Amino acid sequence: MSILNESSSKRVRGTSPPPESAPCASGAPLDGRSHVKGETNAGLECVTIPQLLRRAVARHGRRDALVFCQTGERKSYQEFDREIDALASGLLAMGLQKGDRVGIWSPNRYEWVLTQFATARIGAILVNVNPAYRTGELEYALNKVGCKALVLAPSFKSSDYVSMIRELAPELETCEPGQLSAARLPALESVIVTGAEPGPGAFTFDEVRDLGGPAQQLRLQAIDGSLGPDDAINIQFTSGTTGAPKGATLSHHNIVNNARFVTDRIMLTDADRLCIPVPLYHCFGMVMGVLGAVSKGAAMVFPGEAFEPRATLQALSGEHCTAVYGVPTMFVAMLQELEGESLDLGSLRTGIMAGAPCPMEVMEQITTRMNLHEVTICYGMTETSPVSFQSLVDDPMDKRCATVGRVHPHLEVKIVDPEGNVVPVGERGELCTRGYAVMKGYWNDEEQTRECIVDGWMHTGDLATLDDEGFCSIVGRVKDMIIRGGENVYPREIEEFLFRHPDVSVAQVFGIPDERYGEEVCAWIIPKPGASLTEDAIKEFCREQIAHYKIPRHVRIVDEIPMTISGKPQKFVMRDRMVEMLSSQAT
Ligand code: AMP
């Protein structure tokens, strides 16, 4: 039996009903113009997050809901549900109510997922705080959305969260837990620390779980009826690839439906075990991962607090995972870790690679070396809950490599030129998305919201093309496009080319200002381990192969690329550093 057949038979063992209709993607462009509409066979559901969970508990109560490999925590859907209710009751006892904002500042831990569902249970809005934030960013984020409570891990890597919150709110030293009144964080009343002695003025997570009693349990039932699918339930700060963070505000309806459609396309069922090494603070973890798994009753397997290739491979093998998510750099790291190793990845069949372009070579290798024959590619952004394009598990390999698939159900996408006109099929332009998945707006920022959502269309800032079957290719960021001497240069195209060099592990291409040409092309390259690469060797590789104006004028061989912690290269940081390097060289 081929691996493909074997994995297909795995799907049949599930007891979940199949998706309302087998995932399909019509979405061909209308009239030769770059404008597509997703199919509407599978209906949108008007449910809240608590309703989604309740359905999973009723159908799959005894099955594994989550496994945290690092700590050994393992909960069935029933156990998970009971613990959520206890925490939700505790949050009510603390005085939190519907609409209040509750921050979570922690790497991937069980408490993160409990807080996600407990806040949703009482209609409080979960605010994802990036675990890499330091005091300045934390202060900005908590104040921007007026967080009334903050759940935080004691520390993570080089971040001592407890010290940082105490630095921002020294008033904690003298207040009772839940009674904070801090000059720099005026809205914050409660600080809750997971898994450690919190010190004065703060609750432990376990204390909060014990605060609630029968009265709060009764209130929980009443609250349930007061929640509506269109209520805001989550705020995510969009990652700083381009500048100051903005609080994208998402409703139950936004994220529940996106989670359903994303996991329909990978044919996830309750027989699946989904490995989630991507961060929970991002949609990839908490929507596509957690809500996606819950929508199907699948098990969630968290290898550790943050991505680590070895721990992830061990989780895949030890927990017999059938699916795994990651950004391309995570898959590259796992492939490198697999060199010379023999690990049983026989249960894997599917997964999602998203967040950045997937190099063809990586796709081919994960298919053969990790058994990921049914891996799909997703494209999206936080502001669209997040996914708007995804391949199907059986799309032809070339389409799965070179494109991000076809438009998602119930969404409409157009590609426009700078004047806002829809471009013909095959031409580049800015991708705009309309439909149920578009966020409610940026929290407390009407101006920014108005700038990017025009007549319901979310202007993504991504440059894309659509082909005549509706497959979409992301070709860059509107702002990343380089104009060199009047020629448009698309960094993605050059990156794909450089990646073909046998010694190149990562390639990033960007433009810097240049007096003569307006802009010049630069490349940063990370060589493969053990390889020695020179700047000249890279230029030589390009010569005769790509047009002269695309050949990077400045090449740097580097050890690392500045990334957001969700794995996105920060080109504006590279650009600034390159300008600095060149000017110090010149002086
Ligand atoms: P975020 O809001 O952090 O999820 O970032 C969204 C951005 O990531 C998009 O606007 C794209 O620029 C980029 N992105 C997401 N998925 C892909 C993909 N499959 N290929 C290329 N870029 C992607």
pLDDT for the residue 157: 87
pLDDT for the residue 585: 83
Cα 461 to averaged position of ligand 1 atoms, centre (Å) = 10
Residues 122 and 157 in one domain: yes
Token couple for 331: 């898959």
Residues 280 and 223 in one domain: no
Cα 328 to averaged position of ligand 1 atoms, centre (Å) = 12
Q: Which residues contact 510 (CB under 8 A, 6 or more apart)?
A: 480, 482, 491, 522, 524, 571, 574, 575, 578
> Distance from first CA to last CA of the chain, Å, rounded?
66
Q: 3-state DSSP: the chain helix, strand, coil percent, rounded to 5?
A: 35, 25, 40
Cα 59 to averaged position of ligand 1 atoms, centre (Å) = 34
Cα 510 to averaged position of ligand 1 atoms, centre (Å) = 17
93 lines ligand 1 (CB under 6 A): no
Q: Is 209 helix (H, G, I), strand (E, B) or coil?
A: helix
| Residue nearest atom 9 in ligand 1 by C-alpha distance | 381
Please check whether residue 200 lies inside any domain of the structure: yes
Q: Is 250 helix (H, G, I), strand (E, B) or coil?
A: strand
Residues 508 and 497 in one domain: yes
Residues 127 and 263 in one domain: no
Residues 338 and 459 in one domain: yes
Q: In CATH, what number is assigned to the domain containing residue 210?
A: 3.40.50.980
| Residue nearest atom 8 in ligand 1 by C-alpha distance | 355
377 lines ligand 1 (CB under 6 A): yes
Please check whether residue 567 lies inside any domain of the structure: yes
Q: Which residues contact 494 (CB under 8 A, 6 or more apart)?
A: 507, 509, 521, 523, 546, 550, 552
477 lines ligand 1 (CB under 6 A): yes
Computed over every residue of the chain, the mean pLDDT equals 91
In this predicted structure, the answer to whether residue 232 has a pLDDT above a threshold of 80 is: yes
Mutate-to-test residue for ligand 1 from 358, 432, 462, 509, highest number of ligand atoms within 8 A of CB: 462
Token couple for 515: 């007096």
89 lines ligand 1 (CB under 6 A): no
Nearest to 208 by CA among 107, 83, 80: 83
Cα 356 to averaged position of ligand 1 atoms, centre (Å) = 5
Q: Which atom of ligand 1 is nearest to the CA of 383?
A: 2
pLDDT for the residue 424: 97
Residues 387 and 299 in one domain: yes
CA dist 227 → 96, 119, 131 (Å): 15, 12, 29
Neighbours of 447 (CB within 10 A): 7
Euclidean distance between CA atoms 98 and 102, whole angstroms: 11
CA dist 509 → 208, 427, 438, 523 (Å): 49, 22, 30, 4
Residues 467 and 486 in one domain: no
Token couple for 415: 């590609």
CB 168 within 8 A of CB 184: yes
Residues 380 and 413 in one domain: yes
Residues 223 and 250 in one domain: no
Domain count, the chain: 3
In one-letter notation, the amino acid at residue 509 is V
Of the three residues 478, 498, 529, the one that is the final residue of a domain is 478
| Residue nearest atom 23 in ligand 1 by C-alpha distance | 356
Token couple for 34: 């770059």
CB 405 within 8 A of CB 375: no
| Residue nearest atom 19 in ligand 1 by C-alpha distance | 379
Chain segment 318-377, per-residue pLDDT in tens? 999 999 999 988 999 999 999 978 899 999 999 999 987 788 888 889 999 999 999 999
Q: What are phi and psi of 383, to 5 degrees?
A: -65, -15
Please check whether residue 426 lies inside any domain of the structure: yes
* pLDDT band at residue 488 under the 50/70/90 scheme: confident
Cα 398 to averaged position of ligand 1 atoms, centre (Å) = 20
Cα 387 to averaged position of ligand 1 atoms, centre (Å) = 9
566 lines ligand 1 (CB under 6 A): yes
In this predicted structure, the answer to whether residue 10 has a pLDDT above a threshold of 50 is: no
Q: In CATH, what number is assigned to the domain containing residue 348?
A: 3.40.50.12780
Please check whether residue 78 lies inside any domain of the structure: yes
Token couple for 282: 């991002």
Of the three residues 199, 228, 257, the one that is the final residue of a domain is 228
Residues 324 and 363 in one domain: yes
* pLDDT band at residue 195 under the 50/70/90 scheme: confident
Euclidean distance between CA atoms 345 and 390, whole angstroms: 24
Please check whether residue 24 lies inside any domain of the structure: no
Euclidean distance between CA atoms 328 and 333, whole angstroms: 9
In this predicted structure, the answer to whether residue 14 has a pLDDT above a threshold of 60 is: no
Cα 477 to averaged position of ligand 1 atoms, centre (Å) = 9
Q: Is 541 helix (H, G, I), strand (E, B) or coil?
A: helix
pLDDT for the residue 586: 77
Half-sphere exposure of 125 (CA within 13 A, CB side): 24
Please check whether residue 250 lies inside any domain of the structure: yes
Q: Is 390 helix (H, G, I), strand (E, B) or coil?
A: strand
Residues 213 and 134 in one domain: yes
357 lines ligand 1 (CB under 6 A): yes
Higher pLDDT, 175 or 24: 175
**Alpha helix (H) ranges present in 201-270?**
205-211, 214-226, 252-265
Neighbours of 540 (CB within 10 A): 12
Q: In CATH, what number is assigned to the domain containing residue 539?
A: 3.30.300.30
Percent of the chain topping pLDDT 90: 76
Chain segment 502-548, per-residue pLDDT in tens? 999 999 999 999 888 888 999 999 999 999 899 999 999 998 788 88
Chain segment 525-534, per-residue pLDDT in tens? 999 999 989 9
Q: Which residues contact 51 (CB under 8 A, 6 or more apart)?
A: none
Q: Which residues contact 576 (CB under 8 A, 6 or more apart)?
A: none
Sign of the CA dihedral running 461, 462, 463, 466:
negative
Number of H helices, E strands in the chain: 19, 28
571 membership: H or E segment, kind and range = helix 571-586
Euclidean distance between CA atoms 247 and 444, whole angstroms: 8
Which domain covers residue 100, as residue numbers?
71-228
Higher pLDDT, 11 or 171: 171
Token couple for 211: 């605060």
CA angle, residues 209, 211, 217, in degrees to nearest 5: 85
Mutate-to-test residue for ligand 1 from 235, 381, 479, highest number of ligand atoms within 8 A of CB: 381
CB 296 within 8 A of CB 263: yes
Q: What is the DSSP string of 326-388?
A: E-HHHHHHHHHHHTT-----TT--EEEEESS---HHHHHHHHHHS--TEEEEEEE-GGGSSEE
Mutate-to-test residue for ligand 1 from 432, 460, 474, highest number of ligand atoms within 8 A of CB: 474
Cα 307 to averaged position of ligand 1 atoms, centre (Å) = 19
Neighbours of 547 (CB within 10 A): 9
Percent of the chain topping pLDDT 70: 94
CB 320 within 8 A of CB 371: no
Cα of 105 vs its chain's centroid, Å: 16
Please check whether residue 59 lies inside any domain of the structure: no
Neighbours of 87 (CB within 10 A): 27
Half-sphere exposure of 529 (CA within 13 A, CB side): 6
Chain segment 375-411, per-residue pLDDT in tens? 999 999 999 999 999 999 999 888 888 899 999 999 9
pTM assigned to the model:
0.85
Residues 410 and 505 in one domain: no
Please check whether residue 3 lies inside any domain of the structure: no
Of the three residues 455, 478, 501, the one that is the final residue of a domain is 478
